[in-house]
Chains A and B, each alone.
Chain A
Amino acid sequence: MWNTLILDPMINALLWIYQLFGAGPNSFGFAIIIFTALIRVITLPLTYRQQKSSLMMAEIQQSKKWQKIQEKYKDNKQKQQEEQMKLYQELGINPLGGCLPLLIQFPIIIGLYQAIIRTMAAAPIQLLDLSSHIYSIIPSSLIPLNNQFLGYMNLGQPERLPLPFIPSNFPIIGEGLPVLAILVVITSYLQTKLTTPPSTDGQGAAMGQMMSLYMPLFIGYLAYSFASGLALYFVASNLLGIVQGFVMQRMRQNPGGKPAKK
């Protein structure tokens, strides 16, 4: 079911785009970027709803009414939550509105990741597995994929930019500079900052703060350790997320080109 509906179509779409780019050096890198963009566009309505819901929630939390409730019922959490729920109802907001789109996007993101990893098949077992996912319309002459990207990168291996002036036994960067992993950390952080509205709630704010710091580092570690095709996907996805978040922020600040309401 998972393979038929999610994974196989994604793997074959990726291979098809790779073929469109000439199946040569750089083709797979471009295929990952285009495919990531395509999935981003397809899931845009869901992402939009999720971000819109998050922003509305954040706005409510900054409103005077909300803060009054917080203050008034600070010793009675049960009552405080009841009043907050009433406020949501008054304003016609579903507090779970941001979660459903996130849940729907989830299998798509996992499928995209799996498709990229499987298509890069650099070991016999991986290629054997890949061969059982390829549709007959995809020519087998495409295999193995050309994993070269930007002249120095093998998308099936972790990326390191060679630094000839650094001795090879130098800690961490002796093998080369992990440029993509660094970009992953930076773009993940920026995207989290841009798309996660600040929470006024103490615990929520602390949790958000923790996530905005640790998640980029965790994703950066994955990008550092695993095949650079994955890191390329993270960077492409984050950059598109940043653009999307930025546009949404501008739209909310300046709806219909009119000055933003205070």
Chain B
Amino acid sequence: MSTLPHPTRRSILLLGLILISSVLLAGCGGGSMLSAASWPGLSIDDTNAYLAYGPTVYAIDLTTNRENWHYPSEPIRNASFYASPAPYEGGLVIVGGYDSMVYALDPTMGGDVRSAWIFEGASANIIGAPVVAGDIVLVPSADNNLYALDLATGDPVWTQPFTTEEALWSAPLVEEDVIYLASLDHRVYAIDLPTGRELWKTEPLNGAIADTPTLAGDLVLVGTFNSQVVAVDTERRGAIAWSFDTSGWIWGSPAVADDLAFFGDYLGLAYAVDINNGQEVWRVTLDGPVTTTPAYKDGVVFFVTEAGTVYAFETDSAKPFWTSNPVLNGRLLSDPVLSGDTLLVATMDNPCVISAVETETSAVRCLLQFEE
């Protein structure tokens, strides 16, 4: 066999390098293009747990653990779902699609679940969860707009959507007739629900806000990518009441109970802060980044980490509530949801995509298992 570097061999080598690079370019760098764009969206109502993850939305019976329905029955081209579904007591389940569509799923019609209506007016992905407020569905979109739709028909309610300067990745918070909206443009907005008119907005908070604001009395609390939790005074038209510096970015929102705000940062620290003055009460180091809003129940606050661990701490002392913390095999990036005595967590990279953790004992069971 010849070892001479023949010109043809050089060309083949060059072609091989280009092909390898093509594979690397498409595979490594753009890996995120080919895999999940976001984490699972989880929500519940009295009957079901709802999961939006990839091409399918699932409804799982909370009593029997059985799948009640899923949508679509056949995959829809370019459609995928990550925003937490918004179940409405009238029977519809509103789901925002990564294909920019909003689907009003009606599981009451019998047979395969179909959409009662579809809204096609958004021009970018729906990442934040839709919210039902009375007869209005509020839909945040990555096209910078908040859309208000008629629950019955899906038609726009406002003359034009409410526009911010950057993408909306989080569900709005509605309190009476006021919408509190956090945007990646670093601001929190207060909007009149019936008209869509801006009531006030904060000064830029020097960091994007990726999760829904939390209301605590007259304060609206948000976590920012500027490694801060900021308390905004709603009575003073969005003036900053206090801010608390954390070590890492805040992806989730604070959970509030007993005058304390609980939140975790991306460097894996969990904090409790007095909401009256923004002073730290305690902090604990966890085993991985926190990207979610903690859950609270009866004097215990629950944190989940990207490393897959579920923590429970007594709120007044930060003392561990369980003797051992359950470690799930996968990344926990979705907000945990309390359902009675169980904490539901959605897991990435794990065939068991919804796990139910008993809040008293930390025992874990699988609620929804994907085929491997």
- The residues of A that contact B204 with a CB separation of less than 8 Å are 141
B39 on the A face (CB < 8 A): yes
The answer to whether the Cβ of B227 comes within 8 Å of any Cβ in the partner chain is yes
| Majority DSSP secondary structure for residues of B touching A | loop
Q: Say if the beta carbon of A68 comes within 8 Å of chain B.
A: no
Interface positions, chain A 33-77, Cβ under 8 Å from B, are: 57, 61, 77
Minimum CB distance partner of B291 in chain A: A128
Q: Roughly how many angstroms separate A78 CA and B4 CA in the complex, as a whole number?
A: 9
Q: How many residues of B are in contact with the other chain, CB < 8 A? A: 51
B residues near A110, Cβ cutoff 8 Å: 21, 24-25, 28-29
B9 vs chain A, min Cβ distance (A): 9
Nearest Cβ distance between residue A168 and chain B, in whole angstroms?
12
A148 to B12, CA, bound (A): 40
In angstroms, how far is the closest chain A Cβ from the Cβ of B97? 14
Residues of B within 8 A of A96 (CB): 5
Q: Does A22 contact B (CB under 8 A)?
A: no
Residues of A within 8 A of B249 (CB): 131, 140
**Given A81-B6, A98-B10, does the pair A106, B21 have CB atoms closer than 8 Å?**
yes
Nearest opposing residue in chain A for B184, CB measure: A144
Give the CA-CA distance A116 to B210 in the complex, in Å.
Answer: 22
A102 at the interface (CB under 8 A from B): yes
Chain B residues lying within 8 Å of A5, measured Cβ to Cβ, are: none
Interface residue B251 (Cβ < 8 Å from any Cβ of A): yes
Q: Does A222 contact B (CB under 8 A)?
A: yes
Q: Which residues of B contact A17 (CB under 8 A)?
A: none
For A131, give the chain B residue with the smallest CB separation. B249
A113 & B29 in contact (Cβ 8 Å cutoff): yes
In chain A, what residue has the closest Cβ to B125?
A: A123
Check B340 for interface membership: any CB of A closer than 8 A: no
**A residues in contact with B4, CB < 8 Å:** 81-82, 84-85
Measured CB to CB, the nearest residue on chain A to B306 is: A128
In the complex, residue of chain A having the shortest beta-carbon distance to the beta carbon of B33: A226
A109 within 8 A of B: yes
Chain A neighbourhood of B32, CB < 8 A: 117, 123, 125-126, 129
**List of B residues within 8 angstroms of A127 by Cβ:** 210
Which chain B residues border A113 with CB–CB below 8 Å?
A: 25, 29
Main secondary structure of the interface of A (DSSP, over half): helix
Stretch at the interface among A197-205, A237-245, A248-256: A197-205
Q: Is B76 engaged at the interface, CB distance under 8 Å to the other chain?
A: no
Interface residues of B in 10-51 (CB under 8 A from A): 10-15, 17-18, 21-22, 24-26, 28-30, 32-33, 35-39
B272 at the interface (CB under 8 A from A): no
- A193-229 vs B: 1/0 string, CB under 8 Å? 0000001010110011001000100100010001000
- Taking A96-B5, A106-B21, A222-B26 as known contacts, 6 extra A-B pairs with beta carbons closer than 8 A to each other, sorted by chain A number, are A81-B2, A109-B21, A124-B169, A126-B37, A131-B266, A207-B11
9 contacts between A and B (CB under 8 A): A57-B10, A81-B6, A95-B10, A123-B37, A125-B36, A126-B32, A201-B8, A204-B7, A226-B33
Task: Please list the residues of chain A having a beta carbon within 8 angstroms of any beta carbon in chain B.
Answer: 57, 61, 77-78, 81-82, 84-85, 95-96, 98-99, 102-103, 106, 109-110, 113-114, 117-118, 122-129, 131, 140-141, 143-144, 199, 201, 203-204, 207-208, 211, 215, 218, 222, 226
